[in-house]
Amino acid sequence: MTIKKGDIVKKLEEIVGREWIIKEREYMESNLRDETPDVLRPHAAEDLILVKPSSTKEVSQILKAANQMRVPVFPVGGRTGLVGGCIPIEPGIILSLERMNNLEVDKENLMAIAEAGVTLGDLIKAVEDADLFFPLHPGDEGAQIGGLISTNAGGVRAVKYGVMRNYVKGLEVVLPTGEILNFGGRLIKNNTGYDLMHLIIGSEGTLCVITKAVIKLYPKSGYSVTLVLPFDSRRDAIRTVPKILQSGVIPLAVEYVGIKELNRAAEHLGEEWPVQEVDAQLIIILSGSSEDEVYSDCERISKIAEENNAGEALIAETREEQERILRIRSNMYTALKSDMVDILDVTVPMNKLSDLMDEIDKIAEKYGIYLPVYGHVGDGNLHIHLMKENNEVPRYIEEVRDEIYRAGINLGGVITGEHGIGRIRVEKIGGILTEKEINLMKEIKRIFDPNGILNPGKILPSN
């Protein structure tokens, strides 16, 4: 599709002012990519206009104009996505909400009211300053509220408080046709008709543009500790996880990590991982209102771990020690990235995690390759990395990916628990959802976006 750039630029200048439009490619480079590994990342189209509105009204005017002129619009957030969801793959408008970053913390209602361009880092800081807590922590604090909601982000701290969907209580959105809608609010309960708000959460910028959100907060937990539990065998580590969750202790996070990847992540940061003796490790974050409560949970977990052949636990108590552990864990992706072809986020029922790991080992053995695996085992969610071999993309990479997907599905799981479909997994969705499900989704897309201008080519196959 070619666009009449002159006409749309003129219209956009009327809406946001000349200084908030960028037409030159060299000044929009960072908006043409996300964190998807280089090998897979889709190419951005030529003929793009980057626009930065400052208000919901401006977003509405931009979408209305784009819809009338049939110009594609690609919403971008912090561009930390891993599936090419925000990449402008057709000529059109890149809609950056970075200027819309107003943030209010409502202490009385335990809610934050955040515009779409507020970053995760800014939200965490403002909430902490108000002596409250926003637990969600996907690895990159540059992600923005609009992106976190559009991808229904998860991350390491979803075991106790859930994924982004569990925090969103209200949304302000703009439809591709320009109408502004509000759902929910500073409310805990709302049963008014079909739940359109939850349809929008996780819709990856294909149904509407999110401009503002009401987000649930929690009281600051008085006390937290991070445990690192070493195991001789991975099977022992993984089978301990459901036992911990069945015990009544609900940790903030339960992560499985391997020493090889941890050391690489630590080295990348110029740091050292504190537990070296064994390969398989669980990182467990516990929080509670008092030291006694957390220590009692800690003791219960240590006992369960011991019964399942764990070695001596490392208990990190100071904020610095705990932050260092989380920092190294969060850096695992970045440290592997230069040799990475893809990062999968297959999710299975918790009691099938060991079986999935075994299947992945068999696949690695069959192809003679290194498949690093770690992740959010407390949520049944593993990150499996497909790596280059001798600096090259292995020719059988598609087969490896498909075999891992098949293993996950055969165990009652899904191919993505957090990162979504975006652009790079569109052709996979046809083999996974039924025709009826895809047709229903296409109908929903058509109702929201009759001219298909919003983030085309994402989630759903075109035919």
- Can you give the binding site for ligand FAD, defined by CB under 6 A? 34-35, 75-82, 85-86, 97, 116, 138-140, 143-144, 146-148, 150-151, 153-155, 204-205, 209-210, 333-334, 418-419, 455, 458
Kind and range of the H or E element at 86?
A: none
Contact 216, 209 (CB under 8 A): no
Please, what is the minimum distance in Å from the beta carbon of residue 213 to ligand FAD? 9
Strand positions, DSSP E, 8-102 = 21-22, 48-51, 73-76, 92-96
Burial of 189 (0-12, 13-18, 19+ CB in 10 A): exposed
Distance CA 26, CA 459 (A): 29
Please, what is the minimum distance in Å from the beta carbon of residue 79 to ligand FAD? 4
Please, what is the minimum distance in Å from the beta carbon of residue 122 to ligand FAD? 12
Residue closer to ligand FAD by CB (options 401, 419) is 419
Residue closer to ligand FAD by CB (options 73, 310) is 73
Closest among 295, 160, 289 to 227, alpha carbons compared: 295
Please, what is the minimum distance in Å from the beta carbon of residue 180 to ligand FAD? 13
Residue closer to ligand FAD by CB (options 234, 419) is 419
Residue closer to ligand FAD by CB (options 61, 308) is 61
Residue closer to ligand FAD by CB (options 76, 249) is 76
Please, what is the minimum distance in Å from the beta carbon of residue 208 to ligand FAD? 7
Please, what is the minimum distance in Å from the beta carbon of residue 65 to ligand FAD? 17
Tokens of 99: 């200027």
Apex 134 CA angle, 128 and 138, nearest 5: 120
Q: How far is CA 363 from the centre of its chain?
A: 26
Tokens of 394: 């292995």
Residue closer to ligand FAD by CB (options 43, 362) is 43
Distance CA 336, CA 341 (A): 10
Q: Could you tell me where the DSSP H helices lie in 118-223?
A: 120-129, 145-150, 158-161, 196-200
